[in-house]
Amino acid sequence: MKLKKFVSRPNLPENKVGYVIMSDIKPNIVSELNAYGITVISSGRLNSITRSEAYHADMCICHIGGERFVASKNIYTEVKSKLKSLGCNIVESEHTVTAKRPSLNVCILGNKIICNTKIADRGIIEYSNKSKMSIINVNQGYTKCSSAVINENALITSDESIYKSCIKSHIDVLKISHGYIDLKGYDYGFIGGTCGLIAKDILAFCGDISLHKDYKNIKAFAASYNVSLLSLSNEKLYDIGGILPILENE
């Protein structure tokens, strides 16, 4: 099969994924994805952030659909060049992304965008309005990092504001415990930052999802949408800023 198309709906591939954007700070995870025939484009590092999230893909770039992306103004030139060589249409963020303004860290779920509207990049908000997408405003500024997308109307999160807003918006949501995920410099990381769909029915994790306290509930929830869980190592889950699928097989 040939890689001919971009993932049309962000985070929701229909077929086997061939390219993802992801941090490369865990070489063993990169190697595992390579073994599955997936090419990893390193998200590089944002020099406007000093802590671990500087390397996170969900901080430096937001896929808004098809070949369209919004990238931080200071994304690595090499990353931008690689993406453009694949045919990506990249628009710069209005502001430089910082830890206090994670403006690209929004969760796009089918025809809905979950974000803190006070923080989210204007370009993403304008795109959602033009596309007649529903905007779900939450207190959390890191909604992509905090949300593991299962399908166009289902996600997993430990964040209370996302959970409550999803319930009100008739989104199926599984609330899990805080913790059980490593992130250097923090007490714990977040579930969305550990994973990403690498096919319509496979959710891949940076680490061993079975080590999470709520594994049985997570597995059952995903299975209710015919999604299986793939652990890419036998280590504790690690928040790398997500595995963002961008190109898939036709």
- Say which residues have a Cβ less than 8 Å from residue 219's Cβ, sequence separation at least 6: 209, 229
CA 195 from chain centre, in angstroms, equals 7
Query: Nearest-CA neighbor of 42 among 54, 55, 51, 58?
Result: 55
115-153 as b/e: b if 16+ CB within 10 A: bbeebbbebbbebbeeeebeebebebbbbbbbbbbbbbb
Q: Are 54 and 46 in contact (CB under 8 A)?
A: yes
37-59 pLDDT tens trace: 999 999 999 999 999 999 999 99
102-149 pLDDT tens trace: 999 999 999 999 999 999 999 999 999 999 999 999 999 999 999 999
Query: Nearest-CA neighbor of 220 among 153, 128, 156?
Result: 156
Phi and psi for 48 in degrees, rounded to 5?
-90, 0
Predicted local confidence at residue 166, as pLDDT: 97
Flag residues of the chain having pLDDT under 70: 1-3
Ordered alpha helix ranges (H), the chain = 27-35, 57-60, 77-85, 122-130, 160-168, 215-223
d(CA 106, CA 182): 21
d(CA 46, CA 65): 23
235-249 as b/e: b if 16+ CB within 10 A: eebbbbbbbbbbbbb
List domains and CATH numbers for the chain. Answer: 3-249 (3.75.10.10)
Q: How far is CA 208 from CA 28, 90, 197, in A?
A: 13, 33, 15
Q: Please give the model's pTM, rounded to 2 decimal places.
A: 0.96
d(CA 57, CA 63): 10
Predicted local confidence at residue 230, as pLDDT: 98
